[in-house]
Structures are given as C-alpha cells and as structure tokens.
A and B are shown apart, each in its own frame.
Chain A
Amino acid sequence: MRATLAILRRELGGYLDSAVFWVALFLFVSLLHAVFFFIGIPVGEVRLPSFWAGRVASMDSAFAWLPLFYSLLAPALTMGSWASERRSGTDEILLTQPLRTRDAVLGKFLAAWVLLVFLTAVAVGPLAWVVSQLGPLDWGTVWGGLFGATMLAAVCVSVGLLTSSLVREDLVAFLLASVVLIGLWSLGFLVRLLPAPLAEAAWYASPALHFLESGARGVFDARDVVYHGLFLFAALILNTLLVGARRWRS
C-alpha cells in the first residue's frame, strides 16, 4: 500500500510537470465547451441539438461526448506509463525496490484515473454552473453522469495502461489504445446493423455503450458498476501479468 501511494504521488508529480497534461487540459475543456454550446450530438441514434439551439437545461450532450474524449485523453495520459519506463530502463530500479508488480500497476492506474476525473470535473463543472444559471438543471442527472464518467474513466485508463505495457514507444501505445477505445465506442453505430447475438456481444464488449445507456443520461444502474468493476479488474490483472511476464523473458 505504501509503495502504491509512493508511486501514485510520483506519477501525479510527473503529470503536473509535463506539457502533455496541460495541453490535454486546455484542449479538453475548450473542445467540450465548444461541442456542448455549438454542436450538440449531430450523428447516431439519439441526436441532440447544441445548447444554444435546443435551449434545454440539460447536460446530456456534454456527457454523450465524454466516451470519445476519453478515447484520446486516457491514452494521452497513460501512453508513457510503462512504455517509457521500459524504453529508458527506469523500470529496473523501480521493480527492484521492495514492492510487487501489482503495487506499481495500481499506483500508475490511480494517478492517471485521479487526473482524468479531475479533468472531467474541471470541464463539466463550469458547464453545469452556466446551464443552472440559465434554466432548471436537474443536478441529480449531473451527479449521476459524473459518477458514470468516473467509472468509464477508470476503464479507459486501464486500457491505456495495458497498451503501454505492450510496447516501447509512447506514440504506439497512444495510437493502439485510441484505436481500441474508439473502436469500442463506435460499436454503438453498428449495434443496430448487427444480428441479435452479435449486437449483444458488442454491447457487452463496450464500456462506452454502457455509459451512454445509463450514466450519460444520469441514470444509476448497479449492473453498470459491476460491469465496469469487472472490466477494470480484468484489465489491471492482465497488466500486472504482462509486466510480470517480462521479468521472465527480457
């Protein structure tokens, strides 16, 4: 636990010290505001107008954009987590300290997750405040949406960490994780077209679809918590095994 906290603290310091984080913060906040106020959701099953066009005091379109943003943000935060340690060799001193591989995996996960949740709060908070000043905003749906976003963020970060542990180059880790996450998100467009069993499988495979079905609409569904929890658990275990397995080979 102590080692996990030490690594969490180091990683957080590293993020705050890096340009990637501040660029991600700026882009995420400004782009989320732009799409919420001016674009809405122009494609897909449930289309939503932009805030200025629709004039409804709802945050639905902002939450609906989160899976796509997370598909880029989570990989941007996690791309170096293992890849750069491995490339530069810093993992050698790290893993010969008195700790388990899983302590390091957990520390790195928590750091990226905390930051992504923080980014979400910074981006969504001001939006919710503006909307609440202009109309009767249902705060329950905002909190429900944020809770769902927190779970989705955890899953996206765990996928990013996983790809980072597979390769040596940050950029490759970023692209790989983005492709996987955007792929899982875009299954939403295919669900209608697929035969029933495949559609069901696609739904089970995609955390983004779970979020869009409930969390993004402010609905709390205990099954989603279990689903995200299992997905996260599996990804972190796999991550630990992959990092541990390299210590048999490399």
Chain B
Amino acid sequence: MIRVESLTKSYGDQLAVDRLSFAVERGEVVGFLGPNGAGKSTTMKMLTGFLHPDRGEVEIAGVRVDPEDPETKRSVGYLPETTALYPRMRVADYLGFVARLRRADLVQPRQAIEKVIEECGLGGWEQKRIGHLSKGYRQRVGLAQALLADPPVLILDEPTSGLDPAEIHRMRMRIRELGRSKTVLLSTHVLSEIQEVCRRVIILANGRLVADGTPLSLGEAERPALQVTLSGGEGIEAALGGLAEVRTVRPRGRDDRGRVGFTLEVEDRYDAALAVVELAARQGWSLFELKHELPSLERIFLRHTESQAAARDGESE
C-alpha cells in the first residue's frame, strides 16, 4: 500500500532522510520510531506530498505521489505533527471546507461530516471556534479532517503528543480501531504506544532505517536477561558472576529485609535459570524471584539509535 524507494531529502547541508526504503502492506499498522531529528516528520511530509523528495520516490496505493498532481494525493489522510488548523474557523465550517476540497471522494459530504464528528467525539462542539478548543479537541478535529474522505491510508505524525492521559488512551483506541480497516503509519516518541497499537515497528536514526520488524522479532536479537531476587549473606554477586552461563551481573539494590536483586545478562536464559537455582540450593540462599526479562522496546530503540549515533560520530572524526 505504501512503497518508499531510496527516499532522500536534505535541508541545505543537513541530510534529513538518507536513501530510505520500506514498504507497508494493506491493513498494517506500523509504528515509525526515532529520536528527534531522525527524519520521521520529513519522511511523512514526502509521503503526503507536502514536500518533494530530492531523490527517490513514494508510491501510495500503486500511484506515485506528486505534490502537484491532485489525483495522487487522494488515498491519504494526514494528521501533521503541528495539527495546525485555522483558529478562527468553527469546527463544522472547517470540516465543510475540507469536504469541498475532497468533494471528488465524497458521495454525500454532509453525511461524511456527521460521521467523522460522531466518530471523533466532536458532537456538540461543531459551532466552537477551533482556537477556543483544548489541545485534545483540536487533535480530534485534525483526525476528523484526515478521516473525512475515508482514505485507505492514514499518516499520523505524533498523534498523541501533548494530550492528557485520558485523551491519549482514547486516541490509541481510535487508532487501533482504524487499523482494522486502514493502513496506518504512525510516528511517536512513546514506545508503549507502539507496543499497544502497532504490530510492526520501523526505527529511523539519522534519516536511515536501522531496524524493521515486529517488536518481538526485534527483541529476539537482544541478549536475554534474567531478574533474580535472593537473600543469604555476602558474596552473592561474586558467586553469580562466577557462573559460566552468566555474562554480566548488574545489582538492582537491596530491600529493607535484606533481599538483593540482580539483573543477569546471559547466553541462554533457560540454562542460566537452572544454574542460578542450583547455585542457590547449594549455597542455602533463599530465592524469591527468578524471571525472564523481556527486552523492552526502550532497549531495542536505544541500542539501534545509539549505535547509529556512534557510527556517525566515527565517520565525522
């Protein structure tokens, strides 16, 4: 549904997007992840036909996107990062304006407007000026305009940024619901959002694609870890470190009853778990907790983006 081929864009000397290629299939909800300045928004601006790429191309629904060709922009609904809407316009007037711009895709514009007002929870707010709305409601209006013509592809640039927790929850539920019928590309800083909403994640750093897969498959590339909590005197850390199955031991602190916690980086989590249990039995320690630590998206994210930053620093030296 979305195909990006060697997309490149620079602002002056600054390379924002560097030979980026990826594809998103129909019905996928894909999270677009990356630190600030990674090129997420720039990529989205090119996907939606706001910016021309320097090189490369974008194809959406089988049509090459051209900012000057209206036909090529019809399949996309877009919520930009800034959600900049005309502050003096009333909600209903604004949606009416977008409906007139999208007239070719709307059989019954009035019904379409009523439908998105209902879907986005804007009932009763139609006559309010957009500038008088809270950030959460402005975001709803932004989403409503993106959904108005019922496009098959939605591109949402940080749709939950600046919202309160209840509003974030509602927006996530809405996006998950939309993912049932649409192809969604969603950028965010919030990693839990990806885990909650997306089945696939694409990580960008310095304008390049550094990882692409399900959160689970990306996690498998990580070294496994165990969390253990024990009590039984001194020398626990050294003894754990002495196990052949354990690579590193990281203390997590001691509680008021003298229990100490460690995170162990291991080769094989099952072998290591067995070794820890046997060691504890031999030493007479009390074992309170032993669990596999799933690699968090934070770790995956940091590993990919930090290695990229290190590579870039290396290049520039």
List residues of A whose CB falls within 8 A of some B CB.
Answer: 2-3, 5-7, 9-10, 13-14, 17-18, 88-90, 92-93, 95-101, 103, 244, 247-250
Contacts and interface: CB of A to CB of B under 8 A. Distances in A.
B88 interface: yes
Interface string B85-112: 1111100010001101111110000000
B88 A18 contact: yes
Contacts of B100: 2-3, 5-6, 9
Counting from the closest, the 3 A-B pairs by CB-CB distance are A89-B84, A6-B100, A98-B70
A92 B50 contact: yes
Contacts of A90: 84-86
Given A93-B145, A250-B51, A98 B45 contact: no
A178 B284 CA distance: 89
Contacts of B67: 95, 101, 244, 247
A44 to B, nearest CB: 41
Interface in B56-82: 67-71, 73-74, 76, 78, 80, 82
A59 B65 CA distance: 55
B94 to A, nearest CB: 9
Given A2-B103, A6-B100, A13-B93, A96 B88 contact: no
A243 to B, nearest CB: 11
Given A2-B103, A3-B70, 12 more contacts: A6-B103, A88-B84, A88-B87, A89-B82, A90-B84, A92-B45, A93-B80, A95-B67, A96-B76, A98-B101, A98-B102, A244-B68
B97 A6 contact: yes
A93 B88 contact: no
What is the interface residue range for chain B against chain A?
35 or more
14 contacts: A2-B101, A6-B100, A14-B89, A88-B87, A89-B84, A90-B86, A92-B50, A95-B67, A97-B70, A98-B101, A100-B69, A100-B70, A250-B11, A250-B51
B82 A2 contact: no
A76 to B, nearest CB: 17
B52 interface: yes
Interface of B: 11, 45, 48-52, 67-71, 73-74, 76, 78, 80, 82, 84-89, 93, 97-98, 100-105, 142, 145
B50 A98 contact: no
B50 A247 contact: yes
Nearest to B77: A96
A247 B46 CA distance: 9
B102 A97 contact: yes
Nearest to B157: A92
A88 B89 CA distance: 14
A216 B30 CA distance: 63
A75 B93 CA distance: 26
A14 to B, nearest CB: 7
Contact of B82 (A92, A95, A249): A92
A93 B85 contact: yes
Given A96-B48, A244-B68, A247-B67, A89 B98 contact: no
A21 B223 CA distance: 66
A81 to B, nearest CB: 12
A105 B70 CA distance: 15
B44 to A, nearest CB: 10
Nearest to B73: A98
Contacts of A2: 100-101, 103-104
